[in-house]
Amino acid sequence: MLNEQLAARFSYDGLCVIDKDGTGLYMNKAAATICNYSLEEFVGHNINQALKKGEISDSVGLLVAKRGKVITRIINIRGVDVLVTGTPIFDDEGILSKIILNVRDIYELNNLKMDQLLSIALKNRQSVQDEFPSDSLPDLENIVAKSKAFRNVIKLILRITKVDSTVYLRGESGVGKEVIVNLLHQYSPRANNPLIKVNCSAIPGPLLEAELFGYEKGAFTGADQRGKPGLFEQANGGTILLDEIGDMPIDLQAKILRVLQEHEVMRIGGRKTIPLNIRVVSATNKDLNELVKEGKFRLDLYYRLNIVPIEIPPLRERKEDIAPLAYYFLQKKNSKYKMNVKFAPGIIHLFSDYDWPGNVREMENMIERLVVMSEEDEISWSDLPFIHQRPDTLSQKPLKNLMLEIENKIIVEKLQQYRTTRKAANALGISQSTLVKKLQRFEQ
């Protein structure tokens, strides 16, 4: 059974606890209301029974038991769409013992289609459009989300804009966490208030505390004699992003926890607290679970931050986004530098075959460099920095993939040499229609 302190910590949300096999152990009143379940229907009963009856569309608890990590899903429970986050609890020997399920109602948005969601979001940002230029606002048309994985992230963000909860973004460097924060803020009721971004790894610990909390005049040697409001104060009414939260010093984490719990801040050297009304978004490319185990991150702070965790998949896991992203960045950089550079035929195929370890940021920086340094009006395969792969990485690929890559390179070379598909096809000894079909395959 869950202890009373843990239950109190999550009392503002729906909370359920199951054992490792999926049998209900505990359900609070909020969860019973949200899920249309009674305590008697949940405790002592296995989730598999509800799945078989069709009462729930999926089981986050069983997924957590299978994978042993935190998982968030939007599922349907007795006709209501809810956001469920499952957190595994391990005993001292590292064996899974319980699973905590945090449950939140999505304000009945399950009955709305995406165009209706966008309509609601647009109303929230209407007041901002009069004050700020349109190019400073996020536009969904400029967010590339062709893959199912990234579309799901965008849909989740649009759903939670109206739910004023703490959000925790996880993902590798360069996946677009700041883009997600911009979208979350600008489509929320806080959109006409500040969005403050803090990189916790870029500022030394003592200075980070002064930046976040501010200070009164004479608080320490070298302090501005007029004092200075901290970033929490500057974000009041709006949103603050604590980026790279995993790098925050452990002693400072306790003070951040107090801000989240008490909704107030005190400047360094100050004697009075300042009330805060902010939404806190944290982001990291590290595994906070591991940092907690290593004693480098506070468990209580982790619970406070991990209300709505959102995993942003790396670019290599959403291949469908690569081609449209490449064209989007090419157009963006052409416009910026007033150029008209194009991709040579077959280039997008090479982009899609690359793993992009630096993710979206790597692609944007690379395309900008290629546009700026281009001596002609076309980016060819030989211009790509990743095209000269090491033999050991090539040898790991299946023979079919290697043959396709070689064929692609030969065709691109001939097209660059002869400039037309008819002449290139003649040089290759194939018909023009065959060459066109191969090019279409490369672009898919």
Q: Are 364 and 321 in contact (CB under 8 A)?
A: no
Nearest to 226, CA basis, from 234, 211, 215? 215
Per-residue pLDDT averaged across 407-428, rounded?
A: 76
Residues 6+ apart with CB under 8 A from 359: 172, 173, 174, 175, 176, 314, 315
Confidence band for 401, pLDDT divided at 50, 70 and 90: low
Q: Which residue has the higher pLDDT, 105 or 271?
A: 271
Q: Is the pLDDT of residue 125 over 50?
A: no
Q: Residue 46 burial (CB < 10 Å; 0-12/13-18/19+)?
A: middle
Domain 316-443 has CATH 1.10.8.60: yes
Highest average pLDDT, of 185-189, 239-243, 374-378, comes from 239-243
Q: Is the pLDDT of residue 407 over 80?
A: no
Q: Is the pLDDT of residue 115 over 60?
A: no
Q: Is the pLDDT of residue 135 over 50?
A: no
Highest average pLDDT, of 132-146, 305-319, 410-424, comes from 305-319
| pLDDT of the residue at 10 | 44
Q: Where in the chain are the domains?
A: 4-107, 112-313, 316-443
Per-residue pLDDT averaged across 328-353, rounded?
A: 86
Domain 112-313 has CATH 3.40.50.11540: no
Q: Is the pLDDT of residue 255 over 50?
A: yes
Q: Are 273 and 255 in contact (CB under 8 A)?
A: no
| pLDDT of the residue at 262 | 92
Highest average pLDDT, of 124-128, 241-245, 334-338, comes from 241-245
Averaged pLDDT score across all residues of the chain = 81
Q: Which of 15-24, 74-83, 144-153, 272-281 comes out lowest in average pLDDT?
A: 74-83
Q: Is the pLDDT of residue 387 over 60?
A: no
Per-residue pLDDT averaged across 109-135, rounded?
A: 40
| pLDDT of the residue at 371 | 92
Confidence band for 395, pLDDT divided at 50, 70 and 90: very low
Highest average pLDDT, of 82-91, 126-135, 220-229, comes from 82-91
Per-residue pLDDT averaged across 333-340, rounded?
A: 90
| pLDDT of the residue at 403 | 67
Strand order in the sheet with 71-77: 24-27, 14-19, 96-105, 80-90, 71-77
Q: Are 6 and 49 in contact (CB under 8 A)?
A: no
Strands annotated E in 78-223 = 80-90, 96-105, 167-170, 195-199, 214-215
Per-residue pLDDT averaged across 147-172, rounded?
A: 89
3 state DSSP class of 258: helix
Confidence band for 376, pLDDT divided at 50, 70 and 90: confident
DSSP secondary-structure letter at 420? S
Confidence band for 310, pLDDT divided at 50, 70 and 90: very high
Q: Are 356 and 316 in contact (CB under 8 A)?
A: yes
Domain 4-107 has CATH 3.40.50.450: no
pTM: 0.59
Query: Phi and psi for 298 in degrees, rounded to 5?
Result: -70, 135
How large is the C-alpha radius of gyration of the chain? 26
Q: Which residue has the higher pLDDT, 418 or 369?
A: 369
Q: How far apart (Å, rounded) are the C-alpha atoms in residues 168 and 72?
A: 11
| pLDDT of the residue at 223 | 56
Per-residue pLDDT averaged across 194-217, rounded?
A: 91
Q: At what angle do helices 205-213 and 250-262 cross, to 10 degrees?
A: 20
φ/ψ bin of 13: left (φ > 0), alpha (ψ from -120 to 50), beta (otherwise): beta
Q: What is the largest CA-CA distance in the chain?
A: 84
Q: How far apart (Å, rounded) are the C-alpha atoms in residues 24 and 58?
A: 15
Highest average pLDDT, of 94-108, 223-237, 240-254, comes from 240-254
